[in-house]
Amino acid sequence: MKGIRDPKLWPIAEKVEVGERLTFAEGKVLYETRDLPGLMRLANRVRERKHGHKTYFVHSIRVSQTNICYVGCTFCAFQRRFGEEGAWDWEVEEVVAWVRERYQPGLTEIHMTAGHHPKRPFTYYLDLVRALKANFPGVQVKAWTAAEIHHFSKIARLPYKEVLQALKEAGLDAMPGGGAEIFSERVRRQIARAKVSAEGWLEIHRTAHQLGIPTNATMLYGHIETLEERLDHMDRLRRLQDETGGFMSFIPLAFQPDGNLLARKLGKREFTTGLDDLRNLAVARLYLDNIPHIKGYWATLTPELAQVSLDWGVTDIDGTLIEERIVHMAGSPTPQGLSKAALARIILAAGRIPVERDALYREIRVWDRVEA
Protein backbone atom coordinates (compact mmCIF):
# COMPACT_ATOMS: atom_id res chain seq x y z
CA MET A 1 0.00 0.00 0.00
CA LYS A 2 1.43 3.39 -0.99
CA GLY A 3 2.12 6.11 1.55
CA ILE A 4 3.19 3.90 4.49
CA ARG A 5 6.49 5.26 5.80
CA ASP A 6 7.01 3.18 8.96
CA PRO A 7 8.66 -0.17 8.04
CA LYS A 8 6.94 -1.78 11.06
CA LEU A 9 3.61 -1.08 9.36
CA TRP A 10 4.54 -2.77 6.09
CA PRO A 11 3.73 -6.37 7.14
CA ILE A 12 0.54 -5.08 8.78
CA ALA A 13 -0.42 -3.33 5.55
CA GLU A 14 0.00 -6.61 3.67
CA LYS A 15 -2.35 -8.34 6.11
CA VAL A 16 -4.86 -5.50 5.91
CA GLU A 17 -4.81 -5.69 2.12
CA VAL A 18 -5.85 -9.37 2.12
CA GLY A 19 -8.18 -9.06 5.12
CA GLU A 20 -6.06 -11.12 7.50
CA ARG A 21 -6.56 -10.71 11.26
CA LEU A 22 -3.99 -8.68 13.24
CA THR A 23 -2.26 -10.04 16.33
CA PHE A 24 -2.05 -8.38 19.75
CA ALA A 25 1.60 -7.47 19.05
CA GLU A 26 0.58 -5.84 15.78
CA GLY A 27 -2.06 -3.89 17.65
CA LYS A 28 0.71 -2.50 19.86
CA VAL A 29 2.61 -1.43 16.74
CA LEU A 30 -0.46 0.52 15.65
CA TYR A 31 -0.59 2.33 18.99
CA GLU A 32 3.15 3.10 18.93
CA THR A 33 3.78 4.11 15.32
CA ARG A 34 4.59 7.74 14.59
CA ASP A 35 3.40 7.29 11.02
CA LEU A 36 -0.08 8.63 11.68
CA PRO A 37 -0.87 9.30 8.00
CA GLY A 38 0.02 5.66 7.33
CA LEU A 39 -2.22 4.49 10.16
CA MET A 40 -5.05 6.61 8.80
CA ARG A 41 -4.68 5.09 5.32
CA LEU A 42 -4.84 1.56 6.72
CA ALA A 43 -7.97 2.27 8.78
CA ASN A 44 -9.61 4.03 5.87
CA ARG A 45 -8.84 1.06 3.61
CA VAL A 46 -10.81 -1.22 5.93
CA ARG A 47 -13.57 1.33 6.39
CA GLU A 48 -14.14 1.73 2.66
CA ARG A 49 -13.90 -2.00 2.01
CA LYS A 50 -16.66 -2.63 4.57
CA HIS A 51 -19.00 0.28 3.85
CA GLY A 52 -17.69 2.37 0.95
CA HIS A 53 -18.39 6.04 1.62
CA LYS A 54 -21.56 5.46 3.66
CA THR A 55 -21.67 7.07 7.09
CA TYR A 56 -24.55 6.36 9.44
CA PHE A 57 -26.51 8.33 12.03
CA VAL A 58 -29.76 7.83 13.95
CA HIS A 59 -32.57 10.15 15.02
CA SER A 60 -32.63 9.44 18.74
CA ILE A 61 -33.58 10.83 22.11
CA ARG A 62 -31.56 10.21 25.27
CA VAL A 63 -33.58 9.33 28.37
CA SER A 64 -32.30 8.87 31.92
CA GLN A 65 -35.20 8.06 34.22
CA THR A 66 -33.03 8.76 37.29
CA ASN A 67 -29.54 9.81 38.25
CA ILE A 68 -29.82 8.26 41.72
CA CYS A 69 -27.11 5.61 41.95
CA TYR A 70 -25.33 3.71 44.70
CA VAL A 71 -22.39 2.39 42.66
CA GLY A 72 -20.03 5.36 43.05
CA CYS A 73 -17.82 5.07 39.95
CA THR A 74 -15.04 7.59 40.39
CA PHE A 75 -15.17 8.85 36.78
CA CYS A 76 -18.88 9.73 36.94
CA ALA A 77 -20.34 13.22 37.35
CA PHE A 78 -23.91 12.03 36.75
CA GLN A 79 -24.73 10.08 39.91
CA ARG A 80 -26.60 11.60 42.87
CA ARG A 81 -27.84 10.36 46.26
CA PHE A 82 -31.41 10.63 47.57
CA GLY A 83 -32.16 14.23 48.48
CA GLU A 84 -28.98 15.58 46.93
CA GLU A 85 -29.25 18.75 44.85
CA GLY A 86 -29.82 17.95 41.20
CA ALA A 87 -31.22 14.46 41.81
CA TRP A 88 -34.25 13.22 39.86
CA ASP A 89 -36.28 10.04 39.99
CA TRP A 90 -39.21 9.78 37.59
CA GLU A 91 -42.28 7.60 37.61
CA VAL A 92 -43.16 5.79 34.38
CA GLU A 93 -45.74 8.45 33.48
CA GLU A 94 -43.17 11.21 33.95
CA VAL A 95 -40.75 9.50 31.58
CA VAL A 96 -43.46 9.19 28.94
CA ALA A 97 -44.40 12.86 29.39
CA TRP A 98 -40.75 13.95 29.13
CA VAL A 99 -40.34 12.09 25.86
CA ARG A 100 -43.66 13.36 24.52
CA GLU A 101 -42.63 16.99 25.13
CA ARG A 102 -39.46 16.48 23.07
CA TYR A 103 -40.77 14.04 20.49
CA GLN A 104 -39.93 14.93 16.88
CA PRO A 105 -41.42 13.39 13.73
CA GLY A 106 -39.25 10.62 12.37
CA LEU A 107 -37.76 9.73 15.76
CA THR A 108 -36.68 6.09 15.60
CA GLU A 109 -34.73 5.39 18.77
CA ILE A 110 -35.23 5.92 22.49
CA HIS A 111 -31.82 5.41 24.09
CA MET A 112 -32.19 4.89 27.82
CA THR A 113 -29.48 4.54 30.46
CA ALA A 114 -29.45 5.76 34.06
CA GLY A 115 -28.22 5.15 37.59
CA HIS A 116 -28.44 1.99 39.69
CA HIS A 117 -31.50 2.95 41.74
CA PRO A 118 -31.51 0.99 45.01
CA LYS A 119 -35.29 0.93 45.60
CA ARG A 120 -37.08 0.51 42.26
CA PRO A 121 -38.34 -3.04 41.67
CA PHE A 122 -37.62 -4.87 38.43
CA THR A 123 -41.28 -4.58 37.44
CA TYR A 124 -40.77 -0.79 37.17
CA TYR A 125 -38.34 -1.31 34.28
CA LEU A 126 -40.66 -3.73 32.50
CA ASP A 127 -43.52 -1.23 32.87
CA LEU A 128 -41.28 1.52 31.52
CA VAL A 129 -40.46 -0.39 28.32
CA ARG A 130 -44.11 -1.35 27.81
CA ALA A 131 -45.25 2.25 28.31
CA LEU A 132 -42.72 3.67 25.84
CA LYS A 133 -43.65 1.08 23.23
CA ALA A 134 -47.37 1.75 23.74
CA ASN A 135 -47.09 5.55 23.60
CA PHE A 136 -44.55 5.78 20.78
CA PRO A 137 -45.36 2.91 18.41
CA GLY A 138 -42.71 2.27 15.81
CA VAL A 139 -39.93 3.79 17.94
CA GLN A 140 -37.27 1.30 18.99
CA VAL A 141 -36.23 1.09 22.63
CA LYS A 142 -32.49 0.62 23.08
CA ALA A 143 -32.09 0.51 26.79
CA TRP A 144 -29.84 -0.20 29.76
CA THR A 145 -26.25 -1.15 29.91
CA ALA A 146 -24.96 -4.52 31.01
CA ALA A 147 -24.13 -2.91 34.36
CA GLU A 148 -27.82 -2.04 34.80
CA ILE A 149 -28.90 -5.52 33.69
CA HIS A 150 -26.59 -6.89 36.41
CA HIS A 151 -28.32 -4.57 38.89
CA PHE A 152 -31.77 -5.79 37.74
CA SER A 153 -30.60 -9.37 38.17
CA LYS A 154 -29.67 -8.66 41.78
CA ILE A 155 -32.88 -6.85 42.75
CA ALA A 156 -35.11 -9.39 40.97
CA ARG A 157 -32.99 -12.35 42.11
CA LEU A 158 -33.15 -13.72 38.60
CA PRO A 159 -30.39 -14.94 36.28
CA TYR A 160 -29.32 -12.70 33.42
CA LYS A 161 -31.18 -14.80 30.89
CA GLU A 162 -34.55 -14.41 32.61
CA VAL A 163 -34.05 -10.66 33.10
CA LEU A 164 -33.20 -10.15 29.44
CA GLN A 165 -35.98 -12.43 28.23
CA ALA A 166 -38.54 -10.50 30.30
CA LEU A 167 -37.28 -7.16 28.94
CA LYS A 168 -37.38 -8.50 25.39
CA GLU A 169 -40.97 -9.67 25.85
CA ALA A 170 -41.84 -6.21 27.20
CA GLY A 171 -40.48 -4.66 23.99
CA LEU A 172 -36.74 -4.11 24.37
CA ASP A 173 -35.21 -3.92 20.89
CA ALA A 174 -31.49 -3.53 21.57
CA MET A 175 -28.94 -2.64 24.23
CA PRO A 176 -26.34 0.14 24.36
CA GLY A 177 -22.72 -0.72 25.08
CA GLY A 178 -22.02 1.25 28.24
CA GLY A 179 -20.74 -0.01 31.56
CA ALA A 180 -17.77 -1.74 29.96
CA GLU A 181 -15.31 1.03 30.95
CA ILE A 182 -11.98 -0.85 30.70
CA PHE A 183 -12.00 -4.60 31.31
CA SER A 184 -8.66 -4.57 33.17
CA GLU A 185 -9.32 -5.54 36.79
CA ARG A 186 -6.43 -3.28 37.88
CA VAL A 187 -8.28 -0.28 36.48
CA ARG A 188 -11.79 -1.37 37.45
CA ARG A 189 -10.74 -1.60 41.09
CA GLN A 190 -9.88 2.09 40.95
CA ILE A 191 -12.66 3.53 38.80
CA ALA A 192 -15.65 1.19 39.08
CA ARG A 193 -15.11 -1.09 42.06
CA ALA A 194 -18.82 -1.75 42.76
CA LYS A 195 -19.92 -2.15 39.16
CA VAL A 196 -20.44 -5.44 37.30
CA SER A 197 -17.16 -7.25 36.63
CA ALA A 198 -15.66 -7.52 33.17
CA GLU A 199 -16.64 -11.18 33.04
CA GLY A 200 -20.18 -10.28 34.06
CA TRP A 201 -20.39 -7.58 31.38
CA LEU A 202 -19.28 -10.03 28.70
CA GLU A 203 -21.62 -12.76 29.95
CA ILE A 204 -24.61 -10.40 29.84
CA HIS A 205 -23.84 -9.42 26.25
CA ARG A 206 -23.27 -13.09 25.34
CA THR A 207 -26.68 -13.92 26.80
CA ALA A 208 -28.36 -11.00 25.03
CA HIS A 209 -26.92 -12.08 21.70
CA GLN A 210 -28.11 -15.65 22.28
CA LEU A 211 -31.61 -14.28 22.89
CA GLY A 212 -31.51 -12.26 19.68
CA ILE A 213 -30.96 -8.88 21.33
CA PRO A 214 -28.26 -6.99 19.40
CA THR A 215 -25.95 -4.74 21.39
CA ASN A 216 -23.14 -2.23 21.09
CA ALA A 217 -19.83 -2.12 22.96
CA THR A 218 -17.94 0.80 24.49
CA MET A 219 -14.52 1.52 25.97
CA LEU A 220 -13.81 4.42 28.32
CA TYR A 221 -10.26 5.64 27.69
CA GLY A 222 -7.99 8.55 28.49
CA HIS A 223 -7.72 8.15 32.29
CA ILE A 224 -5.37 5.64 33.99
CA GLU A 225 -5.41 2.75 31.55
CA THR A 226 -2.36 1.62 29.56
CA LEU A 227 -2.31 1.05 25.81
CA GLU A 228 -2.01 -2.70 26.47
CA GLU A 229 -5.16 -2.52 28.56
CA ARG A 230 -6.99 -0.81 25.69
CA LEU A 231 -5.91 -3.62 23.37
CA ASP A 232 -6.85 -6.26 25.91
CA HIS A 233 -10.33 -4.69 26.06
CA MET A 234 -10.69 -4.87 22.29
CA ASP A 235 -9.30 -8.40 22.24
CA ARG A 236 -11.98 -9.65 24.64
CA LEU A 237 -14.67 -7.99 22.52
CA ARG A 238 -13.26 -9.53 19.35
CA ARG A 239 -13.33 -13.00 20.89
CA LEU A 240 -16.93 -12.63 22.04
CA GLN A 241 -17.94 -11.32 18.62
CA ASP A 242 -16.35 -14.41 17.03
CA GLU A 243 -18.60 -16.47 19.28
CA THR A 244 -21.91 -14.61 18.95
CA GLY A 245 -21.79 -12.00 16.17
CA GLY A 246 -24.15 -9.80 18.18
CA PHE A 247 -22.23 -6.53 18.40
CA MET A 248 -23.33 -3.85 15.93
CA SER A 249 -20.75 -1.19 16.74
CA PHE A 250 -17.80 -0.31 18.94
CA ILE A 251 -17.76 3.14 20.58
CA PRO A 252 -14.60 4.50 22.21
CA LEU A 253 -15.65 7.07 24.81
CA ALA A 254 -13.09 9.72 25.74
CA PHE A 255 -12.85 10.44 29.49
CA GLN A 256 -14.49 13.76 30.43
CA PRO A 257 -12.52 15.49 33.22
CA ASP A 258 -15.05 17.73 34.98
CA GLY A 259 -17.02 17.16 38.17
CA ASN A 260 -15.77 13.71 39.11
CA LEU A 261 -13.56 12.22 41.82
CA LEU A 262 -11.14 10.51 39.44
CA ALA A 263 -10.22 13.74 37.68
CA ARG A 264 -9.69 15.47 41.04
CA LYS A 265 -7.47 12.64 42.32
CA LEU A 266 -5.41 12.65 39.14
CA GLY A 267 -5.28 16.43 38.96
CA LYS A 268 -6.54 15.95 35.43
CA ARG A 269 -8.22 18.91 33.78
CA GLU A 270 -7.47 18.36 30.13
CA PHE A 271 -9.45 16.31 27.62
CA THR A 272 -7.88 13.65 25.43
CA THR A 273 -6.03 15.07 22.44
CA GLY A 274 -7.45 14.91 18.95
CA LEU A 275 -4.58 12.72 17.78
CA ASP A 276 -5.10 10.24 20.62
CA ASP A 277 -8.79 10.08 19.76
CA LEU A 278 -8.11 9.53 16.06
CA ARG A 279 -5.38 6.95 16.67
CA ASN A 280 -7.67 5.06 19.03
CA LEU A 281 -10.44 4.96 16.43
CA ALA A 282 -8.06 3.77 13.73
CA VAL A 283 -6.63 1.01 15.91
CA ALA A 284 -10.17 -0.11 16.75
CA ARG A 285 -11.12 -0.25 13.06
CA LEU A 286 -8.07 -2.35 12.25
CA TYR A 287 -8.12 -4.65 15.29
CA LEU A 288 -11.88 -5.26 15.55
CA ASP A 289 -12.17 -6.85 12.14
CA ASN A 290 -15.43 -8.60 13.02
CA ILE A 291 -17.47 -5.66 14.38
CA PRO A 292 -19.33 -3.88 11.56
CA HIS A 293 -19.12 -0.26 12.71
CA ILE A 294 -16.69 1.95 14.62
CA LYS A 295 -18.53 4.92 16.04
CA GLY A 296 -17.08 8.42 16.32
CA TYR A 297 -19.30 9.66 19.14
CA TRP A 298 -19.53 13.38 18.43
CA ALA A 299 -20.75 14.23 21.95
CA THR A 300 -17.30 13.42 23.34
CA LEU A 301 -15.14 14.00 20.26
CA THR A 302 -16.83 17.27 19.17
CA PRO A 303 -18.68 17.39 15.83
CA GLU A 304 -15.58 18.77 14.12
CA LEU A 305 -13.32 15.88 15.16
CA ALA A 306 -16.07 13.36 14.44
CA GLN A 307 -16.10 14.75 10.90
CA VAL A 308 -12.33 14.25 10.59
CA SER A 309 -12.64 10.73 12.02
CA LEU A 310 -14.53 9.63 8.90
CA ASP A 311 -11.10 9.18 7.30
CA TRP A 312 -9.82 7.21 10.33
CA GLY A 313 -12.09 4.18 10.14
CA VAL A 314 -15.34 5.63 11.48
CA THR A 315 -18.63 4.78 9.74
CA ASP A 316 -21.09 6.07 12.33
CA ILE A 317 -21.30 9.35 14.26
CA ASP A 318 -24.24 8.30 16.48
CA GLY A 319 -27.24 10.59 16.25
CA THR A 320 -29.31 13.60 17.11
CA LEU A 321 -29.07 12.78 20.86
CA ILE A 322 -31.94 14.96 21.98
CA GLU A 323 -30.87 16.26 25.44
CA GLU A 324 -27.90 14.02 26.20
CA ARG A 325 -26.97 14.50 29.87
CA ILE A 326 -24.41 11.96 31.08
CA VAL A 327 -21.28 13.14 29.28
CA HIS A 328 -22.37 16.77 29.48
CA MET A 329 -22.55 16.62 33.27
CA ALA A 330 -18.89 15.51 33.11
CA GLY A 331 -17.89 18.59 31.15
CA SER A 332 -18.41 17.83 27.48
CA PRO A 333 -18.42 21.24 25.72
CA THR A 334 -20.51 19.99 22.79
CA PRO A 335 -24.21 20.79 22.19
CA GLN A 336 -26.78 18.53 23.87
CA GLY A 337 -28.14 17.57 20.47
CA LEU A 338 -27.83 18.18 16.74
CA SER A 339 -30.48 18.15 14.02
CA LYS A 340 -30.57 15.49 11.33
CA ALA A 341 -29.71 18.15 8.76
CA ALA A 342 -26.68 19.24 10.79
CA LEU A 343 -25.39 15.67 10.97
CA ALA A 344 -25.98 15.11 7.27
CA ARG A 345 -24.19 18.38 6.48
CA ILE A 346 -21.15 17.31 8.54
CA ILE A 347 -20.96 14.01 6.67
CA LEU A 348 -21.50 15.52 3.21
CA ALA A 349 -18.80 18.14 3.81
CA ALA A 350 -16.36 15.30 4.53
CA GLY A 351 -17.10 13.76 1.14
CA ARG A 352 -19.07 10.84 2.56
CA ILE A 353 -22.65 9.66 2.05
CA PRO A 354 -25.02 10.32 5.02
CA VAL A 355 -27.30 7.38 5.75
CA GLU A 356 -30.02 7.77 8.36
CA ARG A 357 -30.51 4.44 10.13
CA ASP A 358 -32.60 2.95 12.92
CA ALA A 359 -31.31 1.39 16.16
CA LEU A 360 -30.65 -1.90 14.34
CA TYR A 361 -28.68 -0.28 11.48
CA ARG A 362 -31.48 -0.69 8.97
CA GLU A 363 -31.24 2.11 6.41
CA ILE A 364 -34.07 4.66 6.45
CA ARG A 365 -32.87 7.40 4.12
CA VAL A 366 -29.81 8.28 2.09
CA TRP A 367 -29.26 12.05 2.25
CA ASP A 368 -27.86 13.25 -1.08
CA ARG A 369 -28.18 16.92 -0.16
CA VAL A 370 -29.26 19.23 2.67
CA GLU A 371 -31.51 22.21 2.13
CA ALA A 372 -29.94 25.55 3.09
Query: Residue 236: pLDDT above 70?
Result: yes
Mean per-residue pLDDT, 13-20: 97
309: closest CA among 365, 252, 238?
252
Mean per-residue pLDDT, 92-97: 97
Distance CA 84, CA 155 (A): 23
Query: Residue 45: pLDDT above 80?
Result: yes
Mean per-residue pLDDT, 145-174: 98
140: Cα separation from own chain's centroid:
17
Mean per-residue pLDDT, 228-232: 97
pLDDT at 331: 66
pLDDT at 330: 64
Residues contacting residue 312 through CB under 8 Å, at least 6 positions apart: 40, 43, 44, 278, 281, 282, 285, 296
Query: Residue 98: pLDDT above 70?
Result: yes
Residue spans of alpha helices (H) in 103-191? 122-135, 146-156, 160-170, 185-191
190-225 pLDDT, tens per residue?
898 889 999 999 999 999 999 999 999 999 999 999
pTM: 0.94
247-306 pLDDT, tens per residue?
999 999 998 887 788 888 877 777 889 999 999 999 999 999 999 999 999 988 999 999
Q: Are 257 and 270 in contact (CB under 8 A)?
A: yes
Tell me if residue 177 falls in helix, strand or coil: coil
Query: Residue 337: pLDDT above 90?
Result: no
pLDDT at 78: 86
The percentage of residues in the chain with a pLDDT greater than 70, rounded to a whole number, is 98
Three-state SS string across 268-311, please?
CCCCCCHHHHHHHHHHHHHHCCCCCEEECCHHHHCHHHHHHHHH
pLDDT at 211: 98
